[in-house]
Amino acid sequence: MHLAPRVLRRAAAGATVALLATAVGCAPQPEADASATSSASAGKSCAKGELATKTSGKLTVATDQPAYEPWFKDDKPANGEGFESAVAYAVAQRLGYGKSAVVWQSVPFNKAFAPGEKTFDFDINQVSISAERKKAVDFSSGYYDVRQAVIALKGSKAAKATGIADLKGLKLGAQVGTTSLDYIDDVVKPSREAAVYAKNDQAKSALKNGQVDAIVVDLPTAFYITSAEVTNAEIVGQFENQGGTPEQFGLVLDKGSALTSCVTDAVDALRKDGTLAKIEQQWLSDAVDAPVLK
């Protein structure tokens, strides 16, 4: 969803972490505007360890299952390893909840940002911030800037693509509900309908079996897939940001959650003090540059 043994799911997210720090998990949002603080959360107390969480004294954090690398390690979100696991615990610490007070919950990617009351305090699952998703849920400010990338089998026609025009006649695939799928539909606009999969695992299998010419995933996931899972595949290239602003992953909260402003403050503080950059360096730094598809 590390390189080397942890070689670099969804949304959906560069030569360096800076380039990687550009989706299911959409529409680009400026960093300063990424927060969706609601009137219900305004003015709420952010007293450490005393937030209005689902379970008093505990912080319930959700993600999908399986939890992919490099975002998590060994499909164990609670071990603190992997970029998003580390970010979740850093945010929890800022909010006054130690590791023992964090409770993990499995929630499917699409369900995380679907309308309806949530069973978690926040979800961390490569969910890109978008105006459409903000109609149903709140987001924290962005914790990671990401780009989308194309993967194809080595030596294939798709692998020779150097621009978006070269992708238009191909059969492309991506996970349902992700920015990756949006890039196929809205940027590539292929002549053939995109293949849509419930999980990235299914998209990878389709690529290996020749059912699609190429798949689209976020760039860190692309590096992991090509280095550790589908080693006869390669990254064809990455897409430019659309609209001049980076696509960002954000923490997902209930619409009107009393925690939104507190969680956003925590993310902003972690960005300001360099913690997010350090976590990126640890878990995503092995990625290298990928050509930009124009």
pLDDT, one tens digit per residue, over 84-93 is 999 999 999 9
Contact between 216 and 164 (Cβ < 8 Å): no
Find tokens 């659309």 and name the residue. Answer: 242
Could you give the residue ranges of the DSSP H alpha helices within 143-274?
A: 179-182, 200-208, 219-224, 260-272
CA distance 171 to 150: 12
What is the average pLDDT score of the chain? 87
Averaged over 178-198, what is the pLDDT?
A: 96
Q: Which two tokens stand for residue 146?
A: 């990401």
Averaged over 139-166, what is the pLDDT?
A: 96
Position 152 pLDDT exceeds 60:
yes
Where is 19: in which H helix or E strand? helix 17-20
CA distances for 215 relative to 64, 174, 218, 232, 289, angstroms: 20, 6, 10, 14, 18
- Which of 273 and 24 is assigned the larger pLDDT? 273
Neighbours of 198 (CB within 10 A): 13
Residue 289 pLDDT level (bands cut at 50, 70, 90): confident
Q: Helices 275-284 and 83-95, interaxial angle, to 10°? A: 160
